[in-house]
Amino acid sequence: MTRTLSERAVAFWLLACCALLFAMVVVGGVTRLTHSGLSIVEWQPIVGALPPLDDAGWQETFGKYKQTPEYRLVNPGMSLEGFKSIFWWEYVHRLLGRLIGAAFLLPLLWFALRRRINLALTWKLLAIFGLGGLQGALGWYMVQSGLVDNPRVSQFRLTAHLGIAFLIYAAMLWVALDLLFPRASAVSGGVRRFAAALAILIIRAGLAYNTFPLMNGRLVPPEIFSLDPWYLNFFSNMATVQFDHRLIAWLLAFLVPWFWLRVRREAVSSRARLGAHLLLAALALQIALGIATLLLAVPVTLAAAHQAGALLVFSAALFAAHSLR
């Protein structure tokens, strides 16, 4: 089935939005790694688009930060220059959020008014925009959790914030692929379910131990169930979170090559084979980045690359799943 010029234009616009969101996720990871996320203590979607423009503005913004528990408990005595170094990461993160909102809404209105998209697709895109608005509100809700008593954001709100970002990314990428590629010929339902399961399995967990393959000399850390009640360990115990992360990495290291072999044996399209190749290569790169990040004690550059790698693996899994519809 031939794709129209309008369908391709919409698809490329959505892929451009995916690229912006990809950058935002990476910057968000750097913001978290550099402990910059609590540097801006107000949510001003319009006025806050401009950074401080003079020394008085910087002093006012820094003064508001000095009233936070992070300054009092973590960064007492921080200089203005030190504050600027964390401010800019959070500012760029929020600026990208505003840019993505504009880059999504304005072309959407243009496409809709020019009748370049049908009603069903318009509703899908409006739902994605609604998720984007929810994502911005949730981001501020997350920051608020670190401005009260404990200078740490809630891990539950952080997980929800990142999870919705992945959901928005997946939705935009899937719609773009729908517009670019026709449905493939019938393939085994087992392979399709396999691809979908891999996409769901690819998750991101926190980093706590800087040794590999053992965790400080042990296969299973002794403190893995140190919290009571036991179920809190899966959310609040970094040893357990990291152990789960590694288990999933080992599971993917087994399942993805298996999926790759199954696709090679199936009568599938060349695009499906490409998707399997990309997924295998992306996972190999991601595992290498993860090991290097741990062994080198989580340098910011490698850790950010590892965050980007997670989204690359997720993208490859979605591409593979889409090609096997």
Please name which of 136, 116, 149, 125 lies closest in space to residue 28, comparing C-alpha atoms: 136
CA 281, 286, 292: angle at the middle one, nearest 5?
A: 130
Mean predicted confidence (pLDDT) in 165-194: 84
CA 303 – CA 291 distance, rounded (Å): 10
Look at residue 207 and tell me whether its pLDDT is greater than 60: no
DSSP 262-302: HHHHS---HHHHHHHHHHHHHHHHHHHHHHHHHHTT--HHH
- The pLDDT assigned to 208 comes to 42
| Contacts with 213 (C-beta within 8 Å, 6 or more apart), sequence order | none
Q: Which of 248, 202, 208, 201 is nearest to 224 (CA)?
A: 208
Tell me how far CA of residue 69 lies from CA of 38, 44, 140, in angstroms.
Answer: 10, 21, 17
What is the token pair recorded at 285?
């790169």
Distance between CA atoms of 14 and 17, rounded to whole angstroms?
Answer: 5
pLDDT at 43: 85
209 touches 216 (CB < 8 A): yes
Check: CB of residue 304 under 8 Å from CB of residue 162: no
Is 0.85 topped by the overall pTM? yes
Query: Band of the pLDDT at 215, cuts 50, 70, 90?
Result: low
pLDDT band at 209 (very low <50, low <70, confident <90, very high): very low
**Structural tokens at position 91:** 């500012």
Task: Categorise residue 267: left if φ over 0, alpha if ψ from -120 to 50, beta otherwise.
Answer: beta
For the chain, what are the domain ranges? 1-182, 184-325
Give CA–CA dist 251/201, Å, rounded. Answer: 9
Residue range 18-38: mean pLDDT, rounded: 92
